[in-house]
Amino acid sequence: MLPLIAITSGEITDHDFPWAPVAYGKAHTYTDAIAHAGGVPVLVPLIDDIKLLRRLYDACDGIMFSGGNDLDPSSYGALVSPETKDTSPRRDKQELQLFKWALEDNKPVLGICRGMQLMNVAVGGSLHQDINASVPDAHNHAASADREDFSHLVHTLNIDAESDLAKIMGNNIQTNGLHHQAVDVLGEGFVATAYAEDGVIEAIEMPAKQFMIGVQSHPEALESGVQPIWAKLFKAFVDSSKGT
Which member of 128, 141, 155, 218 is catalytic? 218
d(CA 145, CA 138): 16
Q: Between vectors from CA 217 to CA 155 and to CA 150, what angle results, nearest 5°?
A: 85
Instruction: Clarify whether 218 is annotated catalytic.
Output: yes
In three-state secondary structure terms, 207 is: coil
Out of 113, 141, 180, 223, the active site residue is 113
Concerning whether 220 is annotated as a catalytic residue, the answer is: yes
Environment class of residue 39 by beta-carbon count within 10 Å: exposed (0-12), middle (13-18) or buried (19+)?
A: buried
User: E-assigned strands of the chain?
Assistant: 4-8, 10-12, 23-25, 40-44, 62-65, 109-112, 127-128, 155-159, 173-175, 182-183, 191-195, 201-205, 212-215
- Of 95, 202, 220, 223, the catalytic one is 220
Question: CA 27, 33, 34: angle at the middle one, nearest 5?
Answer: 105
> Is 113 part of the annotated catalytic residue set?
yes
Residue type at 42? Answer: V
Q: With the C-alpha atoms ordered 56, 57, 58, 61, is the resulting torsion angle positive or negative?
A: positive
What are the catalytic residues? 113, 218, 220
